[in-house]
Amino acid sequence: MAEQHTASDCKQRASQGAGGSVSGNGRPNTAAGCGGGGGGLSGGLTQPAGWQSLLSFTILFLAWLAGFSSRLFAVIRFESIIHEFDPWFNYRSTHHLSTNGFYEFLNWFDERAWYPLGRIVGGTVYPGLMVTAGLIHYLLNLLNVTVHIRDVCVFLAPIFSGLTAISTFLLTRELWNQGAGLLAACFIAIVPGYISRSVAGSFDNEGIAIFALQFTYYLWVKSVKTGSVFWTIGCCLSYFYMVSAWGGYVFIINLIPLHVFVLLLMQRYSRRLYIAYSTFYIVGLVLSMQIPFVGFQPIRTSEHMAAAGVFALLQAYAFLQYLKDRLTKQEFQTLFFLGVSLAAGVVFLTVIYLTYTGETAATMATQHHSLAQHMPSLYFSPLPLINPIKPVILNLDTERLFDPVLSAFAVYFAGVMVRLMLTLTPVVCMLSAIAFSSVFEHYLGDDMKRENPPAEDSSDEDDKRNSGNLYDKAGKVRKHVSEQDRPEEGLGPNIKSIVTMLMLMLLMMFAVHCTWVTSNAYSSPSVVLASYNHDGSRNILDDFREAYYWLRQNTDEHARVMSWWDYGYQIAGMANRTTLVDNNTWNNSHIALVGKAMSSNESAAYEIMKSLDVDYVLIIFGGVIGYSGDDINKFLWMVRIAEGEHPKDIRESDYFTPQGEFRVDKAGSPTLLNCLMYKMSYYRFGEMQLDFRTPPGFDRTRNAEIGNKDIRLKHLEEAFTSEHWLVRIYRVKKQENRQALDHKLRNVAAKQKYTSKKVCISCLIIVVIFKYRFFFFFSIGYQMFMQ
């Protein structure tokens, strides 16, 4: 163990030396040999350094290529299209940005969302994604590369996955060594946990945020190592980019203080650390506050307080160190108690805030609610592979400490919320890369050593190998070998080759598994569905786009479409029509109102729709083709959310049978069978016989014959139904021109009563509902994507 320690020390020195020169020459840094670090200026291919940089360049390039191409399944199988829900909003904003310019985008008030409230988009988004895509588009067009903004958006995440691989390489190299870095880059390029959020078409914040995350970590480690303001400012800029890109920046602003804190606890305080953290905290804070959506949060909310606490602690610590130098022992001791009590107080506060962040992580879960959570939780993690690394981790350097801190933190967050699994993925990749790398060093390196002495058993073959071995002598492998030679004397060559083979097998299976998962679980746009016939031919069900495009072309430009919030972004993006609620679920009472309209009977719903100026109602109905993610399956949630706001009008129990079942057939509750959602879903479905074995009106999703076959609509009429009935759009009939005066008066009175009711039932239990909804959608989303 001690030898390993010196070895790593040695290496660290080398890379530090190289680090000093890296600003002068930008080539990939080689951690070759202790004395011969840096490789020399004349490093051509005859030099080991030249080979090494060529090799790492090639591997990184291939990792980028592999990462890029394994994300293209959806594009090849379907087309270059934006996926799912949130990406449609991002695409729409990017489109707005690229057509109207940056300032117009920042000031954008979107009157097409949350009718009649609207949404201030510029101030409620993390603009990093849109600005990145818009900038790329702008630059390409400046160079007369006429790429459509959609293609930029579709391919942004795969391209950034390459950058993520490179920054992971850099980070792992800083933490461990070049070999582990390359392995980590290869892992992160294809690991499904990350691919799930970055396939082509998945134009979402995480696609670029993981790159920013890794790069910030890298620069942080670099700045702690060097204590140079240059690297720290770089780290701050990268952090700024991260803040602008994703709400997950909170992860960084808690992790880095934690790292500093642990270092302080372990008596690893140094001037470098002081410079790095003080600069990072102040500049990073100021920069992060420049994002309109973040605003003053970094100095107000609890999840940022850990950083402030550690900052204060560090100042106090540094001050004590300063005093220690200046004062006599006697004086210092009197001051010490004062200082310690002060520091203890700060630490105490920090700890309190740290525990607080555990709470806030849960609230963060409610703030971010794209359907990402509903992705199948097939997150493959090579976590078991970490085991061999455990002994290695025991010897910790200042920056190496970063790794366990990072992993512990990531595991904690991933435990709090499934979605934050994403932040765990790179950590796992790095750890397993380090594990693999050290295992290979252990087992492969020895073979080389073993082959070297028998060089005397002269043979032509050996000569060749010898020439190959020439550069190994300078390399670190060789050095390790001679040091590790003794303890490994007991390992026979057979065990070594078996272990190596096993490891290679494992890696190969990992690659196969990743590709399989990517291709099967994450490569569906979910806007376009595909089904396969018995002969293997493919049917494309394009109902969503059919209906959305119908809305776009054949309704009034200012028509207002009511639908459940899941489809808000898609309607805005594809149909370009005004929606009442969308995936940015910021106003619960508004959602509850839509839920109430859906779950009331037709005439009550008509009143609500009239008050909301609804022209069209859009629902998703999967009964014809057996699509399980439709509105009837989500319906209980509409009821629950409506009940939360309007407990007098809507009661969840009304929608169940006396036995407590939710059924759509004859045994279903009459309230359900007459509510608007039911009527709209099954309008004229009772006449439809799908095949000869089932009665007319047989719902394939719920495997039941519907209970109410004679549905008549009074205030609505069918405006459009897509080919497979997946999307049904109803037109809200305008009121007839009436003369009767008394009726009119009554109407007004009813309206007043209604509004007063609305006022008195205020939004008291929003949080409860949000939490509820999140878990519910996870389950139905799971079904939806699995089918």
Partner 1 sequence: LWRATQPSMCFWLLRAAAADGLVNEEVKRTVDLSTHLAKISAEILLANQGGSPVQSFTLALEPELGPHLAYVGASVKGEEEEDESLELKETAVHGRSGTFFQVQLPSALAAGGKLRVKVETVLTHVLRPFPSHITQAERQLVVFQGNHYLYSPYPTRSQSTRVRLASKTVESYTKLGNPSKNDEVIEYGPFKDVAPFSQDTMKIHYENNAPFLTISSITRTIEVSHWGNIAVEETIDLRHTGAYLKGPFSRYDYQRQSDSGISSVKSFKTILPASAQDVYYRDEIGNISTSHLQVLEDSVEVEVRPRFPLFGGWKTHYIIGYNLPSYEYLYTLGDQYALKMRLIDHVYDDQVIDHMTVKVILPEGARNVHLDTPYVIDRSPDQLHYTYLDTFGRPVLVATKNNLVEQHIQDMVVHYTFNKILMLQEPLLVVGAFYILFFTVIIYVRLDFSITKDPAAEVRMKVASITEQVLTLVNKRLGLYRQMDEVVNRYKQSRDTGALNSGRKTLEAEHRTLTNDIAALQARLKAEGSDLAEKVGEIQKLDGQVKELVNQSCQESERLVAGKVKKETYITSEKTLAGKRQELISRIDSLLDAL
Distance, C-alpha 156 to centroid of its chain: 14
The answer to whether 683 touches 614, Cβ cutoff 8 Å, is: no
SS3 assignment, position 531: strand
If one asks whether residue 660 binds partner 1 (CB under 8 A), the answer comes out as no
DSSP state, 420?
G
In the set 121, 528, 676, 784, which binds partner 1 (CB under 8 A)?
528
The residue length of the chain stands at 787
Smaller CB separation from partner 1, 332 or 550: 550
What is residue 668's three-state secondary structure?
coil
Which residue in 16, 23, 367, 603 binds partner 1 (CB under 8 A)? 23
Q: What is the dihedral of CA 610, 612, 613, 618, to 10 degrees?
A: -90
Which residues, other chains included, contact 1 with Cβ-Cβ below 8 Å and sequence gap of 6+? 391, 394, 395
Least Å distance, CB 721 to partner 1, is 4
474 binds partner 1 (CB under 8 A): yes
Task: State how far the Cα of 371 lies from the Cα of 393, in Å rounded to an integer.
Answer: 37
> Closest separation between CB of residue 745 and partner 1, Å?
31
33 lines the binding site for partner 1 (CB under 8 A): yes
Strand locations in 542-621 (E): 560-562, 578-579, 616-620
Which residue from 118, 657, 717, 762 is in contact with partner 1, where contact means CB under 8 A? 717
Indicate the residue among 83 and 663 with the shorter CB distance to partner 1.
Answer: 83
Selected binder of partner 1 within 135, 233, 506, 688 (CB under 8 A): 688
DSSP letters along 160-179, please?
HHHHHHHHHHHHHHHHS-HH
Token pair 């303001």: residue: 229
Among 569, 725, 770, 785, binds partner 1 (CB under 8 A): 725
**Any long-range contacts for 304-307 (C-beta under 8 Å, 24+ apart)?**
304/250, 304/253, 305/349, 305/350, 305/353, 305/356, 306/253, 306/254, 306/257, 306/258, 306/350, 306/353, 306/354, 306/357, 307/253, 307/254, 307/256, 307/257, 307/281
Site for partner 1 in 544-573 (CB under 8 A): 545-550, 552-554, 573
Q: Which lies closer to partner 1 via its Cβ, residue 88 or residue 187? A: 88
466 binds partner 1 (CB under 8 A): yes
Distance (Å, whole) CA 354 – CA 253: 12
Residue with smaller CB distance to partner 1, 479 or 596? 479
Q: Does 455 bind partner 1 (CB under 8 A)?
A: yes
| Cβ-based neighbours of 76, under 8 Å, separated by 6 or more | none
Min dist CB 737 to partner 1, Å, is 17
Smallest distance from the beta carbon of 147 to partner 1, in angstroms?
Answer: 10
C-beta of 250: minimal distance to partner 1 in Å? 35
> How many whole angstroms separate alpha carbon 692 and alpha carbon 689?
7
Phi/psi for 377 (5° steps) reads -85, 60
Taking contact as CB under 8 A, which single stretch among the options 306-314, 434-442, 543-551, 636-644 is the one that binds partner 1?
543-551
What's the closest the beta carbon of residue 548 comes to partner 1, in angstroms?
Answer: 7
Nearer to partner 1 (CB atom), residue 18 or residue 354: 18
How far does CA 569 lie from the centroid of its chain?
Answer: 18
Q: Identify which of residues 450 and 684 has a Cβ nearer to partner 1 in the complex.
A: 684
Least Å distance, CB 720 to partner 1, is 6
- Cα–Cα distances (Å) from 229 to 198, 204, 329, 338, 375, in that order, read 33, 32, 33, 31, 41
Choose between 148 and 757: whose C-beta lies nearer to partner 1.
148
Least Cα distance to 599 among 557, 566, 641, 553 occurs for 641
Distance in Å, CB of 722 to partner 1, minimum: 7
CA distances from 299 to 117, 274, 342, 343, 733 (A): 29, 21, 21, 21, 51
Binding test (CB under 8 A) with partner 1, winner from 3, 111, 331, 463: 463
From 143-151, 202-210, 240-248, 355-363, give the range in contact with partner 1 by CB under 8 A: 143-151
* Beta carbon of residue 735, minimum distance to partner 1 (angstroms, whole number): 17
Q: Are 163 and 210 in contact (CB under 8 A)?
A: no
453 contributes a contact to partner 1 by CB under 8 A: yes
Q: According to CB under 8 A, which residues from 576 to 615 bind partner 1?
A: none
In the range 144-203, which residues lie near partner 1 by CB under 8 A? 144-146
Does residue number 242 form part of the binding site for partner 1 (CB under 8 A)?
no
Contact region with partner 1 (CB under 8 A), list: 46-54, 179-187, 367-375, 644-652: 46-54
Nearer to partner 1 (CB atom), residue 553 or residue 756: 553
Within residues 105-134, the interface with partner 1 by CB under 8 A covers none
Q: Smallest distance, Å, CB 625 to partner 1?
A: 13
Rg (C-alpha) for the chain, rounded Å, is 31
Minimum distance, C-beta of residue 540 to partner 1, in the bound complex (Å): 4
- Smallest gap from Cβ 390 to partner 1, in A, equals 28
Q: Percentages helix, strand, coil for the chain, rounded to the nearest 5?
A: 65, 5, 30
Number of residues engaging partner 1 in binding (CB under 8 A): 67
Residues forming the site for partner 1 (CB under 8 A): 17, 20-21, 23-27, 33, 35-42, 46-49, 79-81, 144-146, 453, 455-456, 458, 463, 466-467, 470, 473-474, 478-479, 482, 528, 540, 542, 545-550, 552-554, 573-574, 684-685, 687-688, 717-723, 725, 731
